[in-house]
Structure 1
C-alpha cells in the first residue's frame, strides 16, 4: 500500500487521539471516513476530527492489543483490541472493544483511514 507500515500510521492516530491533535488526525483520516462507534453511532471522519478539536471526546488511555494486519493491493485492514478511558462531553467512559481500521492508498500515494469500526467485546460465559 505505502512505504509506511499501517502499524506506524495507527500509532500516529493513537497519539493524536490522546493529545487531542485534530490537525494530525486530519492528515491521517479521510473526511468521508465511515467511523462507526461501539455504540452503533456513525460519524464521518470530519465529524470525528471536529469532536476531538472541540474537546467533546477526550482520550486519557488508549491501549492496543492482539493486533493483526491484512494486506490487499490498495487497502490494509488493521484489526485489534482497544482498551480506552475517555470523556464524552465531560462524562467519564471506558470501553473494551474489538476494532478494525481500513487504510487505503490515496491519490498522492500516501495512506488515509477510510473506515473505522468498533464493537464491544463479548464477555465469556
Structure 2
C-alpha cells in the first residue's frame, strides 16, 4: 500500500463522517473495525454506524492539520492530527484529535482496520 493510498483512505473516512455517508463508511471500514474514543470506550463498527445514523454522533467538519504515514510493512498506519467539529451524545465542540488508524488488505484494495482517537 502506498502513502498516497493511505492518505486517500483517511480523506475518504473524514469526508464520509462529515457527510454521514453510512454506505461509504461501511465500504472503507473492515467488518471487525473498532473505534476507540478519547474516553477509552471501544465501539464496534455496527454500533458506531448506528450512532451516526441516529444522530447521536454528528460530524460537522473535519480538518486534518498534519498526517504522518507509515506505509511500510504488512500493516500500514497513519497518525493524523485533526480539528473535529462534532456533536457527540449531545455535546458539540471542536476537538483536537489525534487519529491513529491501521489498515488491512481486502480484495484488490485496503480498508481501515481500527482507529484510536486521543487528544493533542
Question: How high is the TM-score relative to the length of structure 1?
Answer: 0.86
Q: Give the match's secondary structure for 1:115.
A: strand
**Which residue matches 1:12?**
12
CA shift in 2, pair 1:4/1:109, >3 Å: farther
Segments of 5+ residues of structure 1 without an aligned counterpart are: none
Cα displacement (A) at 1:88: 1.6
CA distance in 1, matches of 2:45, 2:72: 22
**Which residue matches 1:92?**
92
CA distance in 1, matches of 2:3, 2:78: 16
**Which residue matches 2:113?**
114
The answer to whether the 8 Å contact 1:97/1:118 transfers is yes
Cα displacement (A) at 1:4: 6.5
Question: How high is the TM-score relative to the length of structure 2?
Answer: 0.90
1:32 equivalent to 2:32? Answer yes
Misfit runs of 4+, over 3 Å: none
CA distance in 2, matches of 1:3, 1:42: 27
The answer to whether the 8 Å contact 1:69/1:78 transfers is yes
CA distance in 2, matches of 1:88, 1:3: 31
Whichever of the two has the greater Rg, that structure is: 1
